Structure formats: C-alpha cells, structure tokens
Structure 1
Amino acid sequence: MHQNGLSRRSVLSWAAGLGVAIPTASLLSACGGDNAGGGGGGGTGRTYQTALGYNVGNCPEMVAREAGFFKDLGLDVDVISSTGTPQAMSGLIAGSTAYTRFQSISALITIANEDAPFVAIGMPVQRTAFELQSMAESPITEIGELEGKAVGVVSAGGTTDQLIDLMAVQAGIDPKAIERKVTGLGTAAYQFAAKDDVAAWIGSAAEREALEEAGSGVHAWNFDDVMPVPADTYLTTRDELDQHRDVVVKVLAGFYQALEFVCEESNDSQTIEWIRKYNREITPEDAQEQLDLVRPLYLARGQKQLMALHPQEWEQMQDALLGAKLITREADLSKVVYPDLLAEAKALL
C-alpha cells in the first residue's frame, strides 16, 4: 500500500494556510490510507489530478493513460479533474492524489510561505500562455504604462494577479500602483476595456484569436518576453519522491512519452479522440484549434528541452516574489526543483 506519511496536524496546518477545505475522507487517507492509488487495473497505483477540468492543455496526461504508456511502465495512474488549483493543491497535501500540474508561481508561493511539501519534477509548458492584452486603438506596450491604471485579472490573488506583481517589481514600479479588477477569461475582459474600466487585461492567445476573428483588434505581448517565469509544472510531494523515487521517475517517463506523442501532428486525430473520451463537450474542431495553440508552448524551447526544468528561472522568480513581498522567506530550491529526474525518466524509454 502507498502510505503518505503526513500527520493529521500537518495536513490541517497546510490547509488552513492555503485557505482550502480538506474533506474528512481525504484527511483519513492523508494519515495512512491508500487513496493515492490508481483504479485497480494492475500495476503500481497512483492518481493524477488536473488543475482545472479536462481541457486540451491536459492532453499529455490523458494520452499517457489511454495510450498505455503508464501501463507499459508498470503503473496504473488514474487521471481525475479538479475545480481549480486550490483543489489540486489540497489533493497533494491530503494524500488523496500523488501528482498534479499547475503554475509554478502558485507552487513556490505556497512552498515558501506555508512550507507545503511540493516538489517540481518536470515542466511540460515551456512558454507561458498568458499575455497582457489591450485594445488595439489604445495599446499598453509595457507594464510601466499601467502605473495609476487598472488591469483585468482572472481572479483576485490568483496567478494572473501575482504575475502583475512580478512584472511591476521587474519594471521598478510599486505593485500597489496598479489597480486590479476581476474580469475573468474570454471576451468579457475586452468589454471591461471597451467601457474604460480597465486599461488592459490578462488573457491567452486562444482568447485573443477569438476576439480578432470577431473583428475586435487586440494588442498583446507575452509575459515571457519581459521576464521568463516557469509555467505549468508537474508536481508531487517530498514524501513521494523520498520514499518512491522509482515511481516518480516512471510517472515522469509516461508523461514524457505522451508529450512526444502529442507534439507529433500526425497523431492529432488519435489525441483528439482520447481528449473527447474525457471531455465530450468539446467538438473535434475546437479540440484541434486548441491543440494547435498549446503545441507551440510545449515546443517553445525546442525538442531537446521538451519538459525540462530551468532552476535559474525559479531563482529569478523567487527573487521577484521576495521583491513583491508575495513570499516572506526564501525556499531552498535545491530541495524543490529536480531537473535531473527527466534524464532518469528518458533512460527508461
């Protein structure tokens, strides 16, 4: 059986610090249960939880299971969804899941401020999907132009809010000089700008393209062009790495095989079929369009850097977080970021 090794007191402490609710059943599993196991299909059981639903960006994890990559490595990994990063965090902390993937900035803030037991094992997204977007007729060309103005963020205190803080510090601006308004995702943010409620907003390339197709001109620049920040990162717990390093390496190998599969355009029809097994609401056409948008993010640094971690960027991010007072102390990144695991994983293939 897979034991988590966390005490009930530790779980409650982390949950309180994160502001997340841990169900009683999860607390029991965190204190010595077997809920981190997979679905009983044979092999070593584990559960992977997405950070939000079954979107196309999560397709490597779905493919790893459906293509049999996990099974070939002696693993039985369930892929389940969540309602957001807090739930994905709580799953790891409670031990009801063993692996997840969410924004590195959220992980590092929680590690530094709450001593959360997260460790980074791979980075499938090599370039952030987030852009600073503004109306074409009144473009915001750099973060400094937002001083004294309002910017739209997806949620208060979330990753997009934190990115504005980092960009402000990088530009030598007091983050408090930029007002935040929650505009959410999609075309709604554009409407806030059209009414002069915000000067700019944070969105993705997919949303920008939708706006442009509808005839709304958008000026945009990617945050990585100003300050590269590690994007979506595969995470597990220190306990899992310390006690089951062989399993961590195998899970990573499954992810890597799946990412290679997804990056090959000739596999698109099969990839989309597997995506729609988890998400029946998405049409094949929409899935293809989104796949064409996320694939360049996977390959942004070239095939040789596929899923690689970049410790120096974690150091830069930590310095900026300290400057923005989003974290109160430095984390020992040598015990958080494990770039060498990828070579071990690839050696299994």
Structure 2
Amino acid sequence: MGKTMKPLLAVLVALAAVALAACSGTAADRTKIRIGEVTRSIFYAPQYVAISQGFFKDEGLDVELTTTAGGDKTMTALLSGAIDVALVGSETSIYVNQQGSGDPVINFAQVTQTDGTFLVSRKKIDKFDWSMLKGSTFLGQRKGGMPQMAGEFTLKKKGIDPQKDLKLIQNVDFANIPAAFASGTGDYVQMFEPQATVIEKEGKGFVIASFGVESGQLPYTVFMSKKSFIDKNSKSIQKFTNAVYKAQRWVAEKPVDDITAALMPFFADTDKEIVKAVVKRYKDQASFATDPIVDEKEWNNLQDVMQAAGELQQRADYGKLVNNTFAQKAIETVKK
C-alpha cells in the first residue's frame, strides 16, 4: 500500500467510526426515562427484552429501571416525580382517578394481558375440581391488589364464596407468602412465579390451576405516566412505545430458550431452568401482550373484577385514562 493511501484509509476508518457512533448514540445523546416496576418478575419479560436487546437504545432512549416494590409505592414514586413511567397494574390508575387527581395517570402501553398467579395445592391432585377448595384454608393475596381481586373473581365464578366457604388468610406480606406456605400455612395458595415453580420443584406443592386463564384477559400490567409528563414528552413516549412493541413481537416470535437467555441478566440469582419453565408457562397461556393496545373490552373486564371485589366506587372512563395513540402509531410504523 502506498504512503499516500495509509493516511486516507485512516481518515475513512475514523469517519466510519464517527458515523457508527452517531447511529447508535452515546448515553449522553439519548433521552433518559426513569421506569419504576412494581416488582421484579419474569411476568414482565417484554420489558427486560426491550432493555437487553437494545430496543430502547435503538429508539434513542436511556432507561433507568428501579424496582419500587408494591403498587402504592410505585404510584407514589410516579406522582411525586421520582420516576417518569410506571409498570404496574391498571387498577392503580383507577384508584388515583377515584381520589380526584387533577393530573390523571394515563395507561399507554400494555405489557401483560392476564393475571399472573397460579393455584398451588399442598397435595398432588390428579382430578382437580374447584369445589375441593370449600372448607379449606386458603392463603390469598393482599386485599385490594389485582392478584387478590382476580383470585376472588375466579372463586366466585366457580361458585365459591371466599368469605364464607374458605378460611381466607390475607394478612401475609406478598414477599412472605411462599415461605408461609412452605412452612405449613394453608391447604392452597395463590402464588406468583417463579415461586410457584420453585415450590413445585422442591416437592412442597403442586400447580393445579391458573387464575390468569380463569379470570380472562385484562390490562393486568401496563406502562403508564402522568398526563402532564406525556403531554410534555410525547416524542419520548412514542419512542418508548415503539421499543415496547418491538420487544413484544420479539417475545412472540422467539423460542423459549432465546427469551430465557435475554432475561437471565435480570434474574442472575434464579436457576436458568426455573426461568425457562416460567417463561414457557406464561407464553403458553398467552400472558404476554402481543401489542401495546389497551383494549376496551379488557378494560371493562378489569372493572368487572374490581367491582366484584368491592374496590370500585364508580366505573372509570376508558377514554380518560387510556391513550392508545402511541400504541397504534407503533403498530403502524415499526418495521416488520
């Protein structure tokens, strides 16, 4: 190679590097979005995929993920401005609306479309019937939370009065429910993953039914933000929703092994085979939403569940608390 060509080649390489950096952007170039997730859960697979597969970065966003541990704390963080976007159950936006907030919390991108809990029995049951629960001690979820409401909705649908037909235990903290059941509390328990699969693999219980399947589709976990934030940051919310949709399509199309690999950085302390089993269980029962649209029929089902639990003062206006324009645009514009 001639002497004159070497400097020229060096310049071309440098220019290519600059162009590549411009395409991917540095953290300083990207818009920061602070997400607060209600808990760390395999149930929220599309969110972790959007991070691990670089979909947020591709949209020019730098997301900061915090686990805010509980619906009340998550909503407090959102309302106070400690986070920009919350990943939490849609019922929390309805509770805020019931309190007469002047800055409503808007649901803009759905992530899960069923309840994520399972019915676990202490003993193996070959032919389970819901009537078997009558007269038993049932370890349930926290009153007022979506898992509890979906659980009670299912029990009533199966002809069981949770207050009269069961010895219902609801005073155990969410994080302590698996340990309480493992130590002998309750004949049956309503439990999230991966704890249900862990209990099953340890031989301390058996998954016999899904509350997600029985309670039907509803906007169980949704990305939401204050209306004022969305109004001021509509371009960023659109980019955010685009990334979520890319992740949803990726999860829908990829095999369980690929999804598991994408999730492992977020569940380093969980056995890979457990993660894989949970991903398969949720994927098989279509818990992961395949697009970000918050469907009105599902919204109404959510309010039916809340009403049955006595937690709804009056039905919330779908048009006031749901904004599907970002989801619709994502579906129309994200490349196939």
TM-score (normalizing by structure 2): 0.73
Where does the alignment leave 5 or more consecutive residues of structure 1 unmatched?
Answer: 1-38
* 1:327, distance to aligned residue in structure 2 (A): 1.8
Q: What pairs up with 1:153-164 in 2 under 5 angstroms? A: 153-164=140-151
2-structure distance, mates of 1:80, 1:267: 25
1-structure distance, mates of 2:222, 2:100: 19
What count of residue pairs does the alignment treat as equivalent? 301
Go from structure 1 to structure 2 and tell me whether the alpha carbon gap of 1:139 and 1:219 turns closer, same or farther (over 3 Å shift).
farther
Larger RCO (CA under 8 A, 6+ residues apart): 2
Does the 8 Å CA contact 1:169/1:324 hold for their aligned counterparts? no
RMSD: 3.5
1-structure distance, mates of 2:307, 2:330: 33
Go from structure 1 to structure 2 and tell me whether the alpha carbon gap of 1:206 and 1:168 turns closer, same or farther (over 3 Å shift).
same
Letter in 2 for 1:218: F
Aligned match of 2:250: 261
Aligned match of 1:248: 237
Which of 217, 223, 243 is matched with 2:211 structurally?
223
Indicate the larger mover: 117-126 or 175-184: 175-184
Q: Is 2:202 aligned against 1:214? A: yes
* 1:203, distance to aligned residue in structure 2 (A): 1.5
Aligned match of 1:180: 168
* 1:51, distance to aligned residue in structure 2 (A): 1.3
2-structure distance, mates of 1:42, 1:110: 34
SS in 2 for 1:96: coil
Aligned match of 1:30: none
SS in 1 for 2:32: strand
Letter in 2 for 1:281: D
Please give the per-residue CA displacement for 1:304-325, whole angstroms capped at 9, x wherever unaligned: x434422112213213423432
Of structures 1 and 2, the larger Rg is shown by 2
Aligned match of 1:310: 295
* 1:285, distance to aligned residue in structure 2 (A): 4.5
Go from structure 1 to structure 2 and tell me whether the alpha carbon gap of 1:204 and 1:252 turns closer, same or farther (over 3 Å shift).
same
2-structure distance, mates of 1:217, 1:176: 24
Please give the per-residue CA displacement for 1:130-164, whole angstroms capped at 9, x wherever unaligned: 1223333598733x665665421243543333333
Identity of aligned residues (%): 18
Please give the per-residue CA displacement for 1:83-141, whole angstroms capped at 9, x wherever unaligned: 33322211211112111212234443443356472221222223322122333359873
Go from structure 1 to structure 2 and tell me whether the alpha carbon gap of 1:260 and 1:313 turns closer, same or farther (over 3 Å shift).
closer
2-structure distance, mates of 1:112, 1:171: 30
Which of 36, 40, 44 is matched with 1:49 structurally?
36
SS in 2 for 1:91: helix
2-structure distance, mates of 1:170, 1:273: 37
1-structure distance, mates of 2:295, 2:50: 23
1-structure distance, mates of 2:284, 2:85: 24
Which of 85, 94, 98 is matched with 1:99 structurally?
85
